[in-house]
Structure 1
Amino acid sequence: MSRTVLALSAAVIGAAGCVWYLPAVADLRAGDDRPAARRIAAFACLTGWGTLAALALLLLAQAPWRVVGAVAAVGALTASSLSVRAWSLRRGERQEAEKWAELLGAAPVAASGRLRRAALAWGLSGVALAAAGTPFLVRQLLL
């Protein structure tokens, strides 16, 4: 498959991703009006989509596969690290909200078990797809 087709595919996927990165931009622009976990999650989202845009440009410029792979790996690692940090902060914020709810005598709002299972299934399927695609990327980098 030519790099131009790959670049065009990345650009189309990036354009379709506006449903994720436009709300993330709004969260970052809101500043301190949003919780820290939400701002970091928004930054992780923008990092991932920005990586895709960079990959589209690199593919269009006919950059070597090693450069494309390195940019993809660094972008994925950065976005993943930020997502884990946001999850950690969100967990702390949720625990603090539960403590305040207990002090005030209000019933805490917790995510349902079904929602957690669905999120876990989506996350694990993404990890499985990434693991399945890694050999193809490594093969391309070594050629």
Structure 2
Amino acid sequence: MSHAAAALGVAVLCASGCVWYVPAIVDVRAGADRPGSRRLAATACLTGWGTAALLVPLLLAAAPWALTAAVAAAGAALTGAQAVRGRIRHNLEQREEARRWSALRHVPHAATRTGPSRTAAAWTLAGIALIPGLATALLLVR
């Protein structure tokens, strides 16, 4: 395959990848408004697409295949490392959020109820007693 054909293929691939890297740019630019894990994942996405975009001029300049492959491998390794860091951070954030929610859901032991309340029981018994009476009244009216 010629270098020009490979460059054209990578350029078209990069152009079609805007559905991934444009939202990633927005996430990175949002800064502290986004969680750290999301920013790391966006950085990994941008690194991967940036590496692919960097391959286009290398292919157009007819750089040796070994150099092109080395740049692609280095970009893939960096992208993978950032993605793993983002995933680890996401798991830590999820655990921290679970701890926060569990602290909010903590109810003192004395305030817990073990069974239905008296009000619910009264309404249930009233409904059970009232339904046969209403059914009988409806049958007698016809």
Q: TM-score range by the shorter chain?
A: 0.7 to 0.9
Q: Per-residue CA shift, 1:75-122, capped at 9, x if unaligned? A: 00000000000000000000011111111129xxxxxxxxxxxxxxxx
Matched, 1:4 2:10: no
**Aligned partners of 1:35 and 1:57: how far apart in 2?**
34
Residue 97, structure 1, aligned to residue 97, structure 2: yes
User: Distance in 2 between the 1:95 and 1:12 partners?
Assistant: 40
| d(CA) in 2 for partners of 1:48, 1:81 | 11
Matched, 1:24 2:30: no
RMSD: 1.1
Instruction: Please give the secondary structure, in 1, of the residue aligned with 2:63.
Output: coil
Structure 1: which 4+ aligned runs deviate by more than 4 Å? none
- 2:58 & 2:73 partners in 1: Cα distance? 14
- The whole-number CA distance in structure 1 between the counterparts of 2:31 and 2:85 is 18
Unpaired stretches in structure 2, ≥5 consecutive residues = 107-142
In 2, Cα distance between equivalents of 1:67 and 1:4:
16
Aligned partner of 1:48 in structure 2 is 48
* Larger-gyration structure (1/2): 2
How many residues are matched? 106
What CA distance in whole angstroms lies between the structure 2 residues aligned with 1:15 and 1:102? 45
- Cα distance in structure 2, aligned partners of 1:88 and 1:77: 17
Identity of aligned residues (%): 50
TM-score (norm 1): 0.72
Structure 1 residues without counterparts, runs of 5 or longer: 107-143
